[in-house]
Homo-oligomer: A and B are copies of this chain.
């Protein structure tokens, strides 16, 4: 007997969302992530999750969507409409902070080949890219916002990965922040014209 079921009803109620939130918690805690462990935590048989997710990668994809939305929230919250050159560095700092604070989730989101058929996932990733491009268009109105968005995202992503990997000594939290900020400043030009927020 693999699980002692103390549940009164046969049906779980809302297994899918329970699995997802348990999965998030499991990634947060850094525990080894597996379908069986998840089922165990939900007090459900090892095969039950397959009623809600085609396979392991589908579950991972769903978790990745959650992560992308969380990341998006981290990036957007607390930012007013006014944008300056320093805001770009702030975004990078938040991005790296997310990766270091939730390494397992970050790796799940980016460290494997993802399911490109998953509409929700594509939407979440696209939203992130679009937001970045909008910020860039605000800050650098005379430059190619798409190219800058790609550069900014790539730079932040690379910083996050390399820090996660320990390629750069990441002793202190604030030290990392400072390094990210100065790295971004090294390649991103100063805000040329401090415009008012765009009206559109």
Residues of A within 8 A of B (CB): 103, 107, 110-114, 116, 125, 129, 143-144, 147-148, 150-151, 153-159, 161-162, 164-168, 179, 182-184, 186-188
Contacts and interface: CB of A to CB of B under 8 A. Distances in A.
Majority DSSP secondary structure for residues of A touching B: helix
A188 B125 CA distance: 26
A103 B113 CA distance: 10
Contacts of A150: 159, 168, 179, 183, 186
A187 B23 CA distance: 38
B114 A151 contact: no
B153 A186 contact: no
A111 B129 CA distance: 22
A139 to B, nearest CB: 13
Contacts of A125: 167
Nearest to A114: B165
A183 B151 contact: yes
A55 to B, nearest CB: 15
Nearest to A159: B154
